[in-house]
């Protein structure tokens, strides 16, 4: 009986050592992009975070060209105002009525969905001019960004008000 236990223990030990020495294909696959180059999620995060900041800077400055350049032609936005979805043309036209005085972005996260698609999530606090009826508005935002012709473009925007 003792020999049987020793033999079983030895088999388990050898199996464990063999398993520990084998390379993990899953972890190596997760670290490489389809081109075989190591991927850098933080690089994607930085690119998308800079795009989102450029988006809000364009809104703040009412810069229609800069804002439109960041949006895909088939862009759709759903804001928390209950007015339904808006397309790219409607969103750009709304800049004439924008009154964002300042903003702050926090809790920014991005997740790669595919080599040319990403999901972005963040919280933003918008500040309106001192004489505005409401001074602040805080929303959670999710966006889908697509890489088209080498450029990341916002494809979908969804906001939910934080009370």
Task: For residue 136, give the CATH number of its domain.
Answer: 3.10.450.50
Residue 33 burial (CB < 10 Å; 0-12/13-18/19+)?
exposed
In the predicted structure, residue 11 carries a pLDDT above the cut 80? no
Residues 87-136 have pLDDT tens digits of: 999 999 999 999 999 999 999 999 999 999 999 999 999 999 999 888 99
Residue 53 lies in a domain: yes
- Under DSSP, the state recorded for 97 is G
Take residue 132 and report the two structure tokens written for it.
Answer: 């505005």
Residue 129 lies in a domain: yes
Residue 30 lies in a domain: no
**Residue 54 and residue 58: Cα distance in Å, rounded?**
6
**Residue 153 and residue 107: Cα distance in Å, rounded?**
21
Range of the domain at 132: 41-161
- What's the Cα-to-Cα distance from 160 to each of 77, 96, 139, 140, 141, rounded to whole Å? 12, 23, 5, 5, 7
- What's the Cα-to-Cα distance from 80 to each of 60, 84, 112, rounded to whole Å? 18, 9, 25
Residue 21 lies in a domain: no
Tell me the average pLDDT of the chain: 82
In the predicted structure, residue 55 carries a pLDDT above the cut 70? yes
Predicted confidence at residue 41, as pLDDT, reads 58
Note the pTM of the prediction, 2 decimals.
Answer: 0.73
Question: pLDDT category, 40, cuts 50, 70, 90?
Answer: low
pLDDT, average across residues 127-156: 95
Predicted confidence at residue 47, as pLDDT, reads 97
**Residue 123 and residue 143: Cα distance in Å, rounded?**
11
In the predicted structure, residue 60 carries a pLDDT above the cut 80? yes
């Amino acid at each position: 009986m003792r020999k049987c236990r020793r033999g079983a223990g030895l088999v388990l030990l050898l199996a464990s050592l063999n398993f520990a020495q084998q390379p993990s294909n899953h972890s190596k696959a997760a670290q490489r992009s389809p081109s075989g180059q190591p991927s850098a999620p933080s690089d994607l995060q930085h690119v998308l975070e800079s795009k989102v900041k450029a988006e809000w800077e364009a809104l703040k400055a009412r810069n229609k060209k800069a804002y439109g350049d960041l949006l895909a032609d088939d862009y759709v936005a759903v804001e928390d105002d209950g007015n339904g979805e808006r397309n790219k043309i409607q969103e750009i036209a709304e800049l004439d009525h924008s009154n964002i005085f300042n903003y702050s972005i926090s809790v920014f996260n991005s997740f790669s969905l595919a080599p040319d698609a990403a999901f972005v999530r963040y919280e933003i606090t918008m500040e309106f001019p001192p004489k505005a009826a409401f001074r602040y508005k805080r929303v959670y935002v999710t966006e889908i960004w697509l890489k088209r012709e080498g450029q990341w473009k916002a494809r979908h925007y969804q906001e939910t008000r934080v009370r």
